[in-house]
């Protein structure tokens, strides 16, 4: 292949632009949450896997946490099982829990592991049950009730929140130079299984691993205002106001919450990024192109 001088210079510029980022992030843990909505296109699977393998090869420690909401929804539909969400969380009865575990711990997890292998990397897929990685407890959900004109606690079944992350299994995987791929299923002391929102798991893992970055890949360009402009660099107070006036709702609620919690607990930055853009991870980590919504800890 021969290139004209200008194209060659452009490629060289992009490559050298990556150098300070490689130097800065070598040896650092970067938690990437691959959202179910960003996963629906197989080509995006491949570009995501290549980005993660590249990160690993230049000395970073990528940790992948994945969702699979649309994939769970598709199987539930096939099985004629009705599903609904409260505050962005899937109401999960025992039957739904079985499907969730099958999809997240089975097909979705192994598809990502295979994509990473095809891209030349080595990955190990686990759920939070493996090595008791994710200890969960039942999540209590508060919902506003118009009839009561007050908030009420609703029981949404086998939905959990993270009680504790036991990093031992992660250290073993990372120590053996594998890329961990984690399905957001938790377990409690009695061995009961919980469906946990993948953003919440990614946020907690980033906190416990004191990650340099938490990246949440989704199917929107970032956190949007009512006119669809991307919002970035927000303070906690501004986020609270956006939740109160309904600008932030549904699946964006746990995303924002875990991004704020992560940066408050020492993660240097959290990013909500459009996973529909091919190589979104690569662009965010290795270039000066700022994409999506950046959340850092600052007063307010």
Ligand X SMILES: Nc1ncnc2c1ncn2[C@@H]1O[C@H](COP(=O)(O)OP(=O)(O)O)[C@@H](O)[C@H]1O
List 54, 162, 198, 294, residue binding ligand X2W (CB under 6 A): 198
The count of residues interacting with ligand X (CB under 6 A) is 17
73 is in an annotated binding site: no
Nearest-approach distance from CB 9 to ligand X2W, in angstroms: 40
Q: Which of ligand X2W, ligand X, none binds 193 (CB below 5-8 Å, type-dependent)? A: none
Of 97 and 285, nearer to ligand X2W (C-beta) is 97
Nearest-approach distance from CB 117 to ligand X2W, in angstroms: 22
Q: Which of ligand X2W, ligand X, none binds 219 (CB below 5-8 Å, type-dependent)? A: ligand X
How far is residue 38's CA from residue 54's CA, in Å, rounded to a whole number? 19
In sign, the C-alpha dihedral spanning 250, 270, 61, 265 is negative
Residues 54-113 that bind ligand X2W (CB under 6 A): 67-69, 72, 89-90, 100
Nearest-approach distance from CB 87 to ligand X, in angstroms: 11
List 117, 247, 296, 297, residue binding ligand X (CB under 6 A): 247
Where are any strands of DSSP class E within the chain? 29-34, 61-66, 85-86, 89-90, 123-127, 134-138, 141-145, 150-154, 160-165, 179-183, 185-187, 193-195, 213-218, 223-224, 230-231, 269-274, 293-295
Q: Convert residues 181-220 into a mask of x (bound to ligand X by CB under 6 A) and - (unbound).
A: -------------------------------------xxx
**Residues 108 and 71: beta-carbon distance below 8 Å:** yes
Residues 6 or more apart whose Cβ sits within 8 Å of residue 170: 63, 133, 180, 205, 209
Position 139 contacts ligand X (CB under 6 A):
no
Secondary structure class of 140 (helix, strand, coil): coil
Position 186 contacts ligand X2W (CB under 6 A):
no
Task: Give the Å distances, CA to CA, from 235 to 25, 221, 241, 258.
Answer: 25, 19, 10, 14
Q: Which of ligand X, ligand X2W, none binds 181 (CB below 5-8 Å, type-dependent)? A: none
How far is residue 201's CA from residue 207's CA, in Å, rounded to a whole number? 10
Position 251 contacts ligand X (CB under 6 A):
yes
Other CB atoms within 10 Å distance of the CB of residue 24: 12
Among 91-99, 111-119, 138-146, 244-252, the segment contacting ligand X (CB under 6 A) = 244-252
**Residues 35 and 198: beta-carbon distance below 8 Å:** yes
Position 238 contacts ligand X (CB under 6 A):
no
Position 171 contacts ligand X (CB under 6 A):
no
How far is residue 266's CA from residue 165's CA, in Å, rounded to a whole number? 16
| Residue 47 half-sphere exposure toward CB, CA atoms < 13 A | 17
186 is in an annotated binding site: no
13 is in an annotated binding site: no
In sign, the C-alpha dihedral spanning 277, 283, 288, 291 is positive
List 30, 38, 126, 277, residue binding ligand X (CB under 6 A): 38
Q: Which of ligand X2W, ligand X, none binds 300 (CB below 5-8 Å, type-dependent)? A: none
Residue with tokens 């960003």: 38
Please enumerate, by residue number, every residue annotated as part of a binding site for substrate: 68-69, 90, 195
Please enumerate, by residue number, every residue annotated as part of a binding site: 68-69, 90, 195
Positions in the binding site for ligand X (CB under 6 A): 35-38, 67, 69, 218-220, 223-224, 247-252
């Amino acid at each position: 292949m021969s290139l004209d001088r200008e194209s060659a210079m452009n490629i060289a510029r992009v490559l050298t632009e990556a150098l300070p980022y490689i130097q800065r992030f070598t040896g650092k843990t970067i938690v990437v949450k691959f959202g179910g909505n960003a996963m629906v296109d197989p080509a995006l699977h491949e570009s995501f896997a290549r980005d993660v393998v590249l990160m690993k090869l230049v000395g970073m420690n990528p940790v992948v946490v994945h969702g699979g909401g649309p994939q769970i929804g598709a199987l539930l539909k096939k099985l004629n099982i009705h599903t609904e969400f409260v505050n962005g969380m899937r109401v999960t009865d025992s039957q739904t829990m079985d499907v969730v575990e099958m999809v997240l711990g089975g097909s979705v997890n192994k598809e990502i592991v295979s994509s990473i292998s095809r891209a030349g990397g080595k990955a190990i897929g686990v759920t939070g049950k493996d090595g008791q990685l994710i200890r969960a407890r039942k999540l209590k959900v508060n919902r506003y009730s118009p009839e009561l004109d007050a908030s009420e606690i609703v029981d949404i079944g086998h939905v959990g929140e993270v009680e504790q992350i036991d990093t031992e299994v992660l250290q073993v995987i990372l120590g053996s130079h594998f890329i961990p791929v984690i399905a957001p299923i938790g377990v409690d002391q009695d061995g009961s299984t919980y469906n946990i929102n993948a953003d919440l798991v990614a946020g907690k893992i980033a906190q416990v691993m004191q990650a340099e970055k938490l990246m949440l890949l989704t199917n929107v360009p970032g956190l949007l205002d009512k006119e669809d402009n991307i919002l970035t660099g927000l303070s906690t107070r501004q986020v609270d106001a956006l939740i109160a006036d309904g600008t932030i709702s549904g699946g964006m609620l746990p995303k924002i919450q875990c991004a704020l919690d992560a940066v408050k607990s020492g993660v240097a930055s959290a990013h909500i990024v459009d996973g529909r853009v091919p190589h979104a991870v690569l662009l965010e980590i290795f270039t000066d192109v700022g994409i999506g919504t950046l959340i850092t800890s600052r007063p307010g």
